[in-house]
Structure 1
């Protein structure tokens, strides 16, 4: 049976909303909501927060969570997760973003399960059909197209597939959750950056360009990440309703 842990990379800094992971107008830090959602996933044995910040460490210990201290020089969350993963034992490492307090545990389970369904893929992620009112042309919403086997062919900020002919092809938006087989995660963070990754500013393209498959779980996930104070205000309103 596959063993999986969730690691939440957490830093205090944020360009648009500094300290957002500790925002607590719901009565608990934002990070605590994410932690509890990850903990509720049936495939997850342990949840860890990986951080280099004293304030975040204190908050995690305050709500009874597990925390691992990491270096301060990580270029991204994946690198921080890889450092934390080196100190634990599990078959699969799930990178859960610390600013997604409404992530569904079922989505985490679906991504972990997709690795069992695609044994040749070293990593997995999720996608969902666009909801009513979503704009597939929005470059801030990443799109993904799949093979018939359910693996990623390409991710883009552009609209893909482009509807040139009257052929039904449901556009899918990428859900930024990743699961890695543990040996591959250690390898992944050492891979050289690639042209398409840099052109699109999408880190997951590095895996595809280096020839590694990405399994994609199709879900109905429409949770909201928190990037700005206004988005946090909206989350608080949804939470207290």
Structure 2
């Protein structure tokens, strides 16, 4: 199977504008993400897909591959779909541009689930331990069944612990997806769904159209850069 990694990169992020161009030590966030994805050696090709000439130049001037989006897009998945529609590829991994601590092992585990031909879409998650983050709407939570198939994604706390004596595990959804090409193209042909619009979580569109996500647990993916505070935490890790 031909496997590629696509990194959607929007300059004007709502919560933290220009976050991908913020410096983390000696490199921008988007270059950390790109370089670390390439360094995994898991992909036939790695490319940034962006609506910004600033980000495009940041990648290409440092020897990377990037492509400009032609249309305006609501989600990173839509942006990637436009770029791959005429490409010969089997599996596409969507690595979010604000994930500067990309590592090989989680992405390899994600790719391996496609040995099961029934899997159409997969994504990563990690255990949330800190109550502060569990209650933070910037951290998207996911509930799964016993086979690690997604049941629901929410910015709210799921599950809600009505019985305080029950031990539950809280998972944070990490915005790293993998798709079979046709599953991604199907996604872009569906209109935005009500739950997706309400929560601003794009993968809910799959659930609302009857396509479950296979979830893969990873031990640690570092810090996703959503706020200035996240940038400070990421800098401390480096």
TM-score by length of 1: 0.88
Specify which of 128, 131, 135 is matched with residue 130 of structure 1: 128
Q: 1:99 to 1:22 in 2, by over 3 A?
A: same
Give the whole-Å Cα distance in 2 for the aligned partners of 1:61 and 1:145. Answer: 39
**2:62 is the counterpart of 1:63:** yes
Shift in Å, 1:230 = 4.1
Q: 1:128 to 1:24 in 2, by over 3 A?
A: closer
1:85-104 Cα distance to aligned partner (Å, 9 max, x none): 22432211111111111132
Deviates more, 1:153-162 or 1:133-142: 133-142
- Counterpart of 2:152 in structure 1 is 154
Structure 1 counterpart SS, 2:195? helix
Structure 1's unaligned 5+ residue stretches are none
- Counterpart of 1:106 in structure 2 is 105
Counting only pairs closer than 5 Å after superposition, residues 226-237 of structure 1 correspond to structure 2 as 226-237=225-236
Q: Is contact 1:175-1:221 (8 Å) kept?
A: no
- Counterpart of 1:205 in structure 2 is 204
Structure 2 counterpart SS, 1:140? coil
- Counterpart of 1:10 in structure 2 is 9
How many matched pairs? 237
Q: Is contact 1:50-1:69 (8 Å) kept?
A: yes
Give the whole-Å Cα distance in 1 for the aligned partners of 2:24 and 2:138. Answer: 27
Structure 2 counterpart SS, 1:174? strand
TM-score by length of 2: 0.89
Q: Is contact 2:3-2:91 (8 Å) kept?
A: yes
Q: 1:78 to 1:148 in 2, by over 3 A?
A: same
Structure 2's unaligned 5+ residue stretches are none
- Counterpart of 2:217 in structure 1 is 218
**2:33 is the counterpart of 1:34:** yes
Give the whole-Å Cα distance in 1 for the aligned partners of 2:216 and 2:97. Answer: 20
**2:51 is the counterpart of 1:45:** no
Give the whole-Å Cα distance in 2 for the aligned partners of 1:83 and 1:236. Answer: 33
Q: Is contact 2:135-2:156 (8 Å) kept?
A: yes
CA RMSD for the aligned pairs? 2.1
1:197-231 Cα distance to aligned partner (Å, 9 max, x none): 22322211110111112100011124212233443
Q: Is contact 2:113-2:119 (8 Å) kept?
A: no
Shift in Å, 1:29 = 2.4
Q: Is contact 2:223-2:233 (8 Å) kept?
A: no
Give the whole-Å Cα distance in 1 for the aligned partners of 2:57 and 2:230. Answer: 25
Give the whole-Å Cα distance in 1 for the aligned partners of 2:226 and 2:74. Answer: 19
Q: Is contact 1:42-1:109 (8 Å) kept?
A: no
Q: 1:142 to 1:14 in 2, by over 3 A?
A: closer
Specify which of 130, 141, 144 is matched with residue 142 of structure 2: 144
Shift in Å, 1:153 = 1.1
Q: 1:67 to 1:210 in 2, by over 3 A?
A: same
